[in-house]
């Protein structure tokens, strides 16, 4: 299990350059990858995205690529022959009009604007990717390592909280059968206060007790809660992205707990339910950062 928070960096040298990659990730409901890199490498964006997705399944990932020159840059000299020829013809025509000799040397001609241009040498992006991928692999491995380390901390914390919820649920389960008996005694005591012992109907009293028992029965909710706890603990040991499943299970835990609170009709169970809901909310906050 992994956290969605992490950081990793990597470096690789080649082709007269040093490539520096930094990757950081934070929690996000879906998968989002933001890439910031030099413009000349924009065509590599899809390769970068595919590589990142092999390591990260969920979260907002920000990728930064920096490039430093380590070797001597050798610019490419390009001569625009069309412009040079246009200059030559225009100057020759002007010399004919002025009836002077057009004495032009090549050196004079290339000194005119736009004829000679210094350009960066073209890079083979496949060769660039071979080097850049090494930096990315290093950065992504460190990112995953940090996410797994934080994920282990979250896992241990969540396991403790689920075990505590199981204890609270057990206490509710033990208290539940006593609620009906308490209700019976309270109801009988109330009736005796209001009526003579010969006036109340024992059959009618028992019917009321049965109705209350059915209405306040929380056995199904307790069974489902235990099932959710087991699924949650099993998911913590599952490889891959489990955050969404955990989020769903927490929603179900909260729903069952609310139902128990509304049906139990007992102060002691109500207090236990309050504690359970508080713990479930802490779990919900924690799993927001799980991949």
Residues of the chain with pLDDT under 50: none
Identify the pLDDT of residue 58: 92
Q: Domain check: are 99 and 205 in the same one?
A: no
Q: Domain check: are 63 and 190 in the same one?
A: no
| 282 closest CA partner among 159, 161, 156 | 161
Q: Domain check: are 143 and 156 in the same one?
A: no
Instruction: With beta carbons less than 8 A apart as the criterion, state whether 176 and 222 touch.
Output: yes
Identify the pLDDT of residue 185: 62
The answer as to whether 174 is a domain residue is yes
Q: Domain check: are 138 and 160 in the same one?
A: no
Identify the pLDDT of residue 19: 97
Instruction: With beta carbons less than 8 A apart as the criterion, state whether 273 and 169 touch.
Output: no
Q: Domain check: are 274 and 164 in the same one?
A: yes
Identify the pLDDT of residue 99: 80
The answer as to whether 1 is a domain residue is no
**Which residue range is the domain that position 213 belongs to?**
150-287
CATH of the domain at 37: 3.30.230.40
What tokens does 264 get?
């139990």
The answer as to whether 213 is a domain residue is yes
Identify the pLDDT of residue 284: 96
Identify the pLDDT of residue 96: 86
Identify the pLDDT of residue 52: 97
Q: Domain check: are 93 and 223 in the same one?
A: no
Split into its structural domains, the chain has a count of 3
Identify the pLDDT of residue 209: 60
Q: Domain check: are 132 and 170 in the same one?
A: no
Q: Domain check: are 165 and 269 in the same one?
A: yes
Identify the pLDDT of residue 218: 85
Q: Domain check: are 204 and 143 in the same one?
A: no
């Amino acid at each position: 299990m992994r956290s969605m928070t992490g950081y990793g960096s990597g470096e690789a040298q080649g082709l007269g350059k040093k490539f520096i990659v930094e990757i950081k990730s934070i929690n996000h409901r879906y998968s989002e990858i933001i890439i910031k890199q030099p413009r000349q490498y924009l065509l590599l964006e899809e390769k970068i995205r595919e590589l990142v997705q092999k390591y990260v399944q969920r979260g907002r990932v920000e990728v930064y690529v920096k490039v430093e020159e380590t070797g001597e840059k050798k610019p490419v000299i390009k001569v625009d022959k069309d412009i040079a020829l246009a200059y030559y013809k225009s100057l020759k025509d002007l010399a004919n009009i002025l009836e002077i000799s057009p004495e032009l040397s090549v050196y004079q001609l290339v000194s005119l604007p736009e004829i000679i241009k210094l350009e960066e040498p073209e890079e083979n992006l496949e060769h660039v990717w071979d080097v850049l991928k090494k930096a990315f692999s290093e950065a992504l491995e460190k990112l995953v390592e940090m996410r797994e380390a934080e994920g282990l901390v979250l896992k241990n914390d969540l396991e403790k909280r689920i075990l505590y919820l199981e204890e609270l649920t057990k206490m509710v389960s033990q208290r539940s059968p006593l609620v009906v008996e308490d209700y019976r005694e309270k109801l009988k005591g109330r009736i005796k206060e209001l009526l003579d012992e010969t006036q109340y109907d024992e059959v009618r009293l028992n019917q009321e007790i049965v109705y209350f028992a059915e209405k306040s029965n929380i056995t199904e909710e307790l069974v489902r809660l235990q099932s959710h706890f087991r699924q949650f603990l099993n998911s913590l040991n599952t490889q891959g992205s489990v955050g969404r499943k955990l989020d769903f299970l927490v929603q179900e835990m909260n729903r069952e707990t609310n139902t128990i609170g509304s049906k139990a009709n007992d102060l002691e169970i109500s207090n236990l339910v309050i504690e359970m809901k508080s713990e479930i909310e802490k779990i919900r906050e924690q799993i927001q950062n799980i991949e």
